[in-house]
């Protein structure tokens, strides 16, 4: 799954100049096979759809985004993201083409960008990802923490990173959802009951 990413955010601690327009934050929800998705985004003149996603989270997710009172609830700015998510869950879209504006530390952003390169229907291990990024094996825990801090579940495929033994390691939205996503993408075989 490849995504178009645009990093244009300024750090939250930097006040906007008095003459700059205020950035509007929008949110909406979307039912999915995983539960209700919460989409959050901001106006972005450089994003093809006019909005850049800042967060996509699920109920019960560790560190999930909390809706703020000043955010505008409006599904219209998310029309393209919603279309792509529905197509993904219908098995018709292996690659998202959305603009993101999620910010983290330099290390987190490096890790998140590497997640975007893991192809649909495949997995990689924490160790292989560490090797690809030049992260020493002693820092694999930091890599795991950066993956766990991914604010854009589903569209930024942190679910495609598994243990070296094939085990499903932690997933902020729950291991059962990770298994469901990997099964949906064909990276895991469905289990028979």
Position 8 scores a pLDDT of 37
Position 142 scores a pLDDT of 94
For the entire predicted model, the pTM comes to 0.84
Position 82 scores a pLDDT of 97
Beta-carbon contacts of residue 46 (< 8 Å; ≥ 6 apart): 6, 8, 52, 99
Position 10 scores a pLDDT of 36
**Considering 135, 158, 162, 187, which one is annotated as catalytic?**
158
Position 193 scores a pLDDT of 57
Position 53 scores a pLDDT of 96
Position 39 scores a pLDDT of 97
Active site residue 27: no
Own/partner pairs for 41-46, CB < 8 Å, 24+ apart?
41/77, 41/78, 41/81, 41/101, 42/101, 43/77, 44/6, 44/8, 44/99, 44/101, 46/6, 46/8, 46/99
Below-50 pLDDT ranges, the chain: 1-17, 19
What are the Cα distances from residue 73, in Å, to 37, 38, 39, 179?
Answer: 14, 11, 10, 31
């Amino acid at each position: 799954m490849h995504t178009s990413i645009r990093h244009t955010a300024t750090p939250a601690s930097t006040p906007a100049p008095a003459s700059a327009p205020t950035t509007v934050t929008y949110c909406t929800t979307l039912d999915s096979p995983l539960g209700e998705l919460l989409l959050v985004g901001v106006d972005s003149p450089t994003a093809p759809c006019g909005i850049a996603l800042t967060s996509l989270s699920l109920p019960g997710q560790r560190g999930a985004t909390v809706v703020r009172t000043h955010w505008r609830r409006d599904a219209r700015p998310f029309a393209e993201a919603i279309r792509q998510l529905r197509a993904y869950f219908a098995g018709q879209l292996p690659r998202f083409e959305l603009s993101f504006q999620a910010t983290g530390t330099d290390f987190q952003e490096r890790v998140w960008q590497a997640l975007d390169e893991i192809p649909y229907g495949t997995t990689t291990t924490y160790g292989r990802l560490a090797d690809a990024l030049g992260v020493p094996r002693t820092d694999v825990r930091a890599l795991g923490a950066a993956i766990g801090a991914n604010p854009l579940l589903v569209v930024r495929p942190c679910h495609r990173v598994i243990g070296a033994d094939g085990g499903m390691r932690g997933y902020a939205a729950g291991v059962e959802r990770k298994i469901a996503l990997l099964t949906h993408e064909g990276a895991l075989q469905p289990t028979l009951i």
